[in-house]
Chains A and B, each alone.
Chain A
Amino acid sequence: MAVDSSKTVAKQAQKSYLAKDFVSFRQDLIKYAKTFFPDKIQDFSEASLGGLLMEMAAYVGDTMSFYLDYQFNELNPITAIEPQNIVSHAKNAGVPITGAAPSVVKLTFYIAVPAQLKDNGDYVPQDIALPIIKKDTQVKSNTGIVFTLVEDCDFTEKDDYGNLKVTYTTSEVDTSNNPTTFIVVKEATLISGKILVQTFSIPNILKPFRKITLSNQDVSQIIRVKDSQKHIYYEVESLAEDNIFKAVKNLDDDKQLVTSNLEVVPAPYRYIKSTDFRTRITTLQFGSGDASAPDDDIIPDLSVLALPLYGTKTMPRFSIDPNALLRTSTLGIAPVNTTLEVTYRYGGGSQHNVAPESIKTINSLNIMFPENPSSSIQDSVIRSLDVLNATAAAGGAAPLNLEALKSLIQSSRNQQARIVTQQDLLARIYTLPTEFGRVFRAGIHHNLDNPLSSNLYVISRDIAENLTISPDALKINISKYLNEFRLVSDAVDILDATVINYGINFSIVCSPDSNKSTVVQNVINAIREVSDIKYFQIDQPIIESDVINAVINTEGVLSLVELQFKNYSGTVGVNKFSDYDFDLETNKFKGMIVGPEGCIFEMKYPASVIMGTAQ
């Protein structure tokens, strides 16, 4: 009978890689030794030397397994525990590391201004006495927290009709009971923290990616960086960004809707800001370029080196110094032989969330009178200036702790600085800062004539919150804004969405014990609610069932006899509608009214366009 050795071989080949801890490593090692070396040693009890040697080996395995697990956990921001690794993950994901956050407060400025009589017989505050309280004006709470005005508080601002935008109340009257003095009130936003100007002397040595460190913790904003040659350095997210967005005051007719035009400004002088998680000290890092030499002098013209083939078919080898490429202005210009002046705001924390009515002191006042009134009027207005915060300051918070930092990493990774999908495009449009105009709704369609192009439909709202065509300044701003994030091959045509105004006529049967007029009014209110523009997007159809549901679920309604959707266009009575004609009833399809591409349905003047009868 032959001996089958295959089973023995298979048994020998068995190895386990499941051991993770000391006990399992020890068991595996003893099992291994007993299997393969029974003729060499047999005693592996705890008290024996053989057992001791096994335990030493198991200890090494356990230690290595621990560190393997540990390092593996450190690769994942959710399971990492080492502070420096969590900070590295956060930096890689683009989470900004900041110190304590400052608080923001709405502060009301009060001034007493002499009255003047207008041509129409109304008394208003005297124009020439109205000041502009300039930004950087500082006030102080009773707990000693300093707040700084972030934008000019302009008392002279007027609307399109020439009326003052500020509110005012009569303070003093003459013997004829006519106002002689008004209390003029305007609200402004202030942010906590102290402002400091720090200077840095930069030697005459080109040091690529030079860093300077600010001396205070919790820097919340770098207000300005300029050198002694008056170059302004702009903050960028990465040094590869060579331009920035800048708000320029809009002086056109649509300035009420779009206060600023967006400009894309080249930023050869730029820096990135980073804050040390542990020390909360902020460092600025500048570029590597040499401003004294144009890029052409730094980078050799490769065509000269590689293609000197005029009249010859040979060329010599040539060398390029890769370090020379770092001296180009591609990553920004390095400051050399100058003095940098850094103005920044620092300080923050929950103690900056001061209580209501706790800010009453003006620390430093920066005020101007555009109409240049007499000094007595100026002094009088300045003496009358008072401030008070009706609400508590909010937003001040302690620096992020490690757990908070970890929680931000995942969401930050999902963000991206480019537009790829339609959702990216919409998200980017809706995050356009308000001062550049506000898009109420945006919708996207593929352009059937150009596969690389999309049609972007936008619509805004006027002051009465009715839909209105977006102003040109807004569309230009969107164009400039999107251009910085779109893929090179993508094109977006920005078009006005079509507004289709509509109304609803209905007829219902009411229950005998109900008041018919009350029921009809309740039905109108219900239709008004479901037709509110906040529920509508561009290209969203009207769902007939939603309206039917609202009607028949109104108390007192027994049945819905008739429901009709009616288009309103042009001017009807005193109401002005969109000029677009659209037959809603003939475009009803499977219970939905579907409009043309890029349209949005709006029930404008609901008090006039919802009509109902009751039986």
Chain B
Amino acid sequence: MSNARTYSFKSVGETLEEYGQTRRTDVTAKPPLGIKTPIQLDYDFGQLFEMHYNAADMIKDNFKNLILTNHGERVEMYDFGANLQELVMELGSENADKEAMKRILKAVNKYMPFIILSDFEAFSNPRDGGGPAIRGVRVTYSIPVAKMGTQAMEVILYMGG
């Protein structure tokens, strides 16, 4: 018993030098920011779903979903979305386009205020013109805080056969 020695746990562990030598240096890719929509399983990067790694893509995806969402579709957030569903058949007329712009601007100001909206254009592809009947909007925007210049995005609101 007299030869027994007592050690402190404070004397064991990993020194900073050891940590620097053993830390992983192979992980250099940016961490994923958010889930890409529409949701798809990821087979390439080891994630469950396909993810956005770029802020611009992420914002664009979110902006698209904001425009596609109608009031009442999000739980506990009744006014989330641009609520364009009820206008979709009227798009193209001046009054409907003005109303759609107003709604998009209102939604963006509340939920994505860092987006600066530029132009709005409603488009349609009538059935007799060949292909499915399509109604959608094209929005031009920029994000100065993210140093993103003018971007354009088309969102199809309705597609019928």
Contact = CB atoms under 8 A, between A and B. Distances in A.
B65 A47 contact: yes
Contacts of B35: 41, 48-50, 53
B92 interface: no
Nearest to A40: B32
Contacts of B13: 2-5
Contacts of A45: 62, 111-112
Contacts of B39: 49
A2 B33 CA distance: 33
Given A41-B33, A47-B65, A48-B58, A3 B14 contact: yes
Contacts of B65: 47-49
B12 A2 contact: yes
B47 interface: yes
B62 to A, nearest CB: 4
A41 B32 contact: yes
A59 B77 CA distance: 10
B16 to A, nearest CB: 6
B111 A47 contact: yes
A42 B32 contact: yes
Nearest to A58: B76
A452 interface: no
A52 to B, nearest CB: 7
Contact of A41 (B51, B66, B75, B76): B51
A47 B33 contact: no
Interface string B16-44: 10010000000000011111010100000
A59 B76 contact: yes
B113 to A, nearest CB: 11
Interface residues of B, number: 31
B151 to A, nearest CB: 15
Contact of A38 (B19, B31, B51, B52): B31
A513 to B, nearest CB: 85
Contacts of A46: 77, 80, 111
A62 interface: yes
A269 interface: no
Max chain A C-beta neighbours (<10 A), residue from B11, B61, B62, B66: B62
A42 B31 contact: yes
Contacts of B16: 1, 3
B10 A52 contact: no
A43 B34 contact: yes
Interface residues of A, number: 25
Nearest to B107: A47
A22 B77 CA distance: 10
A50 B76 contact: no
A147 to B, nearest CB: 60
A39 B33 CA distance: 9
Contact of A3 (B19, B31, B61, B63): B19
Given A2-B14, A2-B15, A41-B51, A47 B75 contact: no
B127 interface: no
A52 B39 CA distance: 13
Nearest to B51: A41
A42 B34 contact: yes
A42 B62 CA distance: 13
A48 B15 contact: no
Max chain A C-beta neighbours (<10 A), residue from B15, B37, B74: B74
Contacts of B62: 43, 45, 47-48
B10 A2 contact: yes
B45 to A, nearest CB: 11
Interface string A52-84: 110110110010000000000000000000000
Given A2-B14, A47-B66, A55 B74 contact: yes
B32 A62 contact: no
Max chain B C-beta neighbours (<10 A), residue from A3, A43, A56: A43
Nearest to A46: B111
Contacts of A42: 31-34
Interface string A1-28: 1111100000000000000001000000
A522 B12 CA distance: 100
A407 B137 CA distance: 62
A48 B34 CA distance: 7
Contacts of B10: 2
B37 A49 contact: yes
Nearest to B17: A1
A544 B58 CA distance: 93
B96 to A, nearest CB: 24
A47 B76 contact: no
A58 B74 CA distance: 12
Given A49-B39, A52-B74, A2 B11 contact: yes
B15 to A, nearest CB: 6
Contacts of A43: 33-34, 52, 58, 62
Contact of A47 (B31, B32, B63): B63
Nearest to A63: B75
Contacts of B52: 43
A247 to B, nearest CB: 66
A49 B32 CA distance: 13
Nearest to B66: A47
A49 B61 CA distance: 9
Contacts of B61: 48-49
Contact of B34 (A2, A5, A38, A49): A49
A1 B52 CA distance: 39
Given A1-B15, A2-B12, A49-B35, A55 B76 contact: yes
B109 to A, nearest CB: 13
A271 B62 CA distance: 70
Nearest to A44: B34
B13 to A, nearest CB: 4
Contact of A39 (B31, B37, B75, B111): B31
Contacts of B58: 43, 48
A63 to B, nearest CB: 9
A45 to B, nearest CB: 7
Given A47-B66, A55-B76, A59-B75, A41 B34 contact: yes
Interface string B56-73: 001001110110000000
Interface in A93-152: none
A46 B13 CA distance: 42
Nearest to B65: A47
28 contacts: A1-B16, A2-B12, A2-B15, A3-B13, A3-B14, A3-B19, A4-B13, A5-B13, A40-B32, A40-B47, A41-B51, A42-B32, A42-B34, A43-B62, A46-B111, A47-B62, A47-B66, A48-B58, A48-B62, A48-B65, A49-B37, A49-B65, A50-B35, A53-B35, A55-B74, A55-B75, A55-B76, A58-B76
Given A5-B13, A43-B52, 12 more contacts: A3-B16, A4-B13, A40-B47, A41-B35, A41-B51, A43-B58, A48-B58, A49-B35, A49-B37, A49-B39, A50-B35, A55-B75
List the 6 shortest-distance A-B pairs measured between CB atoms, nearest first: A43-B34, A2-B13, A47-B62, A59-B75, A49-B35, A22-B76
